[in-house]
Amino acid sequence: MYAHAPILTPSILAGDHANLAASAAIVAQLGLKWIHLDIMDGHFVPNLSFGPQTVAALRKNSKLFFDVHLMLSEPHRYIEAFAKAGANLISVHIEPAYDHVATLARIRELGCQRGIVLNPGTPASAIEHLLDQVELVLVMTVQPGFGGQSFRRDQLEKIARLSALRKERGLNFRLEVDGGIDLATGAECRAAGADTFVAGTSFFNAPDRAAYAATIAAW
Ligand SMILES: O=C(CO)[C@H](O)[C@H](O)COP(=O)(O)O
Ligand SMILES: [Fe+2]
């Protein structure tokens, strides 16, 4: 028995960056509720994407749940800007040095759900003390920074461990996976206990996106 029904959260990183509103509309028109927004600072990860101004512009035209993944060395400096821009969930990485507890508390104070993210090389034990302070744990299944990479199967054990910890401690956080997710790799993550599936490349390139979304909804 799974803790949560499955959610597909398409990553707009693989959308049309000359018309992100149209990419968000594709997601909404399928009846999906979530969209994943990847924010990169060129420092924590070797790439740049977009910032709060773009998120605010998208918010004007969209009622989707904005699942904002901050890949930033200093996320605490930007959470207020993203909350004001219309984020519903803000996920911050555990790896950089900042006050994680205070930052998660501030995200909640700003009226957003809280997420904590682990890179592939970071063990589940690094966030064990924060599990009761988040609504979502995001396990990266690629090294963050770029879409279109191959799924890392070595992360399945971590997903299973976090799923077991959730049950043991009677917690309710969502368990999200991000990177190289498609209908095959996502199903493996589902079997390990994941319930929230980020998909960029495989979703936007799917020949039949409605069928793609329906498959995940049935997991
Ligand atoms: O956080 C990310 C990259 O750092 C993206 O969310 C992720 O890579 C999605 O892209 P794809 O589904 O194409 O792998
Ligand atoms: Fe992401």
* pLDDT (tens digit per residue) in 43-69: 999 999 999 999 999 999 999 999 999
- For 113-130, the three-class secondary structure string (H helix, E strand, C coil) is EEEEEECCCCCHHHHHHH
Residue-wise pLDDT tens digits, 95-119: 999 999 999 999 999 999 999 999 9
> Is the pTM value of this prediction over 0.90?
yes
**Considering the domain boundaries, does residue 2 fall inside one?**
no
* 180 CA distance to ligand 1 middle (Å): 7
Whole-number Å distance between alpha carbons of 22 and 97: 37
* 172 CA distance to ligand 1 middle (Å): 24
**Considering the domain boundaries, does residue 173 fall inside one?**
yes
Count how many domains the chain has. Answer: 1
DSSP label of 11: B
Please compute the mean of the pLDDT values over residues 196-206 and round it to a whole number. 98
Question: Would the annotation count 201 as a binding residue?
Answer: yes
**Considering the domain boundaries, does residue 1 fall inside one?**
no
Quickly state the pLDDT bin for 9 (edges 50, 70, 90): very high
Q: Is residue 41 over pLDDT 90?
A: yes
Which pair of structure tokens corresponds to residue 74?
Answer: 């200093």
* 148 CA distance to ligand 2 middle (Å): 11
**Considering the domain boundaries, does residue 59 fall inside one?**
yes
Whole-number Å distance between alpha carbons of 192 and 197: 13
Quickly state the pLDDT bin for 157 (edges 50, 70, 90): very high
Q: Is residue 136 over pLDDT 80?
A: yes
Which pair of structure tokens corresponds to residue 17?
Answer: 């960056």
Quickly state the pLDDT bin for 1 (edges 50, 70, 90): confident
Ligand 1 atom at minimum distance from 69 CA? 1
Residue nearest to atom 4 of ligand 1 (CA): 144
Say if CB 135 and CB 166 are below 8 A apart: no
Say if CB 67 and CB 88 are below 8 A apart: yes
DSSP H or E run through 69:
strand 65-71
Quickly state the pLDDT bin for 155 (edges 50, 70, 90): very high
DSSP H or E run through 197:
strand 196-199
**Considering the domain boundaries, does residue 14 fall inside one?**
yes
Q: Is residue 202 over pLDDT 80?
A: yes
Which residue among 11, 117, 139 has the greatest number of ligand 1 atoms within 8 angstroms of its CB, and so is best to mutate? 11
Please compute the mean of the pLDDT values over residues 159-178 and round it to a whole number. 98
Distance from CA of residue 126 to its chain's centroid? 18
Kindly list the protein residues whose Cβ atom lies closer than 6 A to any atom of ligand 1.
11, 13-14, 36, 38, 69, 142, 144-149, 178-181, 198-202
CATH code: domain of residue 51: 3.20.20.70
**Considering the domain boundaries, does residue 138 fall inside one?**
yes
In which domain, by residue range, is 47 found? 7-217
Nearest to 38 by CA among 173, 161, 149, 189: 149
**Considering the domain boundaries, does residue 145 fall inside one?**
yes
Please compute the mean of the pLDDT values over residues 32-50 and round it to a whole number. 98
DSSP label of 1: -
Which amino acid does the sequence have at 103? T
**Considering the domain boundaries, does residue 162 fall inside one?**
yes
Say if CB 198 and CB 11 are below 8 A apart: yes
